[in-house]
Copies of this chain bind each other. A is one copy, B any other.
Amino acid sequence: MYFCLNYYYRMTHSEENYLKAIFHLNKGGAKAVSTNALAGQMKTKPSSVTDMIRRLAEKGVVHYKKYQGVSLTEKGSRLALSVIRKHRLWEVFLVEKLSFSWDEVHEVAEQLEHIKSEQLIDRLDKLLGFPKFDPHGDPIPAKDGSLPSGDKQLLSNMPLHSRGICVGVKDSSSAFLKFLDKNRIALGYRIELMEKEEFDSSVRVLVEGEPIHLSHQIASNLYVKKI
């Protein structure tokens, strides 16, 4: 078991959830994650976060100085990516093999991501045909931690009259996903930006040729890849 990452850095479910949260909060921004932000994300109290951060620092998976926030070490980053990889692969499994809809998978994947077995996840990956993106368009980290880039952008940031393919969602709440289902918008669909309304930043688009009017809130949560 010499080669197995998880052998030396065996984390509890809770620790893994914290690593994931730190990863997501730190993505983009270069500065450390604040205790309060982490407490918000984890739906727990700042004092609990402080306790946990100290344990994680002990284990060498985060950088931490009192009052200065927290960030992942190399190890921590690798572990976080490994959990995210499992989460997203299980989401694909639930949708592709068990006919879950994309708004139902998160809670179950949240549990499944903690199952410890390299062999299991490798074979699941194979069963699913080595997918690169999860049902919400989020990239699935490879075994080595590398992320496929999709060079996508938010629909709200697209230039007028440009065309693209719908490739992901920023918000993956059940409410938003159900809205998209109801309005026949799905990943892979062609989308063309016809008109932008100055006043409320809403947009008129063609989705697979069908015209539809979308609020700024919708347009700023939908990722599009230009073509």
- Min CB distance A61 to B, Å, is 22
CA–CA, A112 and B116, complex, Å = 10
Which residues of B are found within 8 Å of A117, using beta-carbon distances? Answer: 107-108, 111
Bound state CA distance, A67 and B79, in angstroms? 46
Question: Is B108 in contact with A120, judged by CB distance below 8 angstroms?
Answer: yes
Main secondary structure of the interface of A (DSSP, over half): helix
Kindly report how many copies of this chain are found in the complex they form together.
2
* Contact present for B116 and A111 (CB under 8 Å): yes
| Size category of the binding interface on chain A | 10 to 19
Q: Nearest chain B CB to A167's CB is how many angstroms away? A: 27
Docked complex: A121-161 residues within 8 A CB-CB of B = 123-124, 127
What residues make up the interface of A, taking CB atoms closer than 8 Å to B?
Answer: 94, 97-100, 104, 107-108, 111-112, 115-117, 119-120, 123-124, 127
- Could you tell me the distance between the alpha carbons of A69 and B112 in the complex, rounded to whole angstroms? 35
Are B120 and A99 touching (Cβ within 8 A)? no
Q: CA separation between A104 and B119, bound complex, in Å?
A: 10
Apart from the given pairs A98-B123, A112-B115, 8 other A-B contacts in the complex at a CB distance below 8 Å = A97-B97, A97-B127, A98-B124, A98-B127, A104-B119, A107-B117, A108-B117, A108-B120
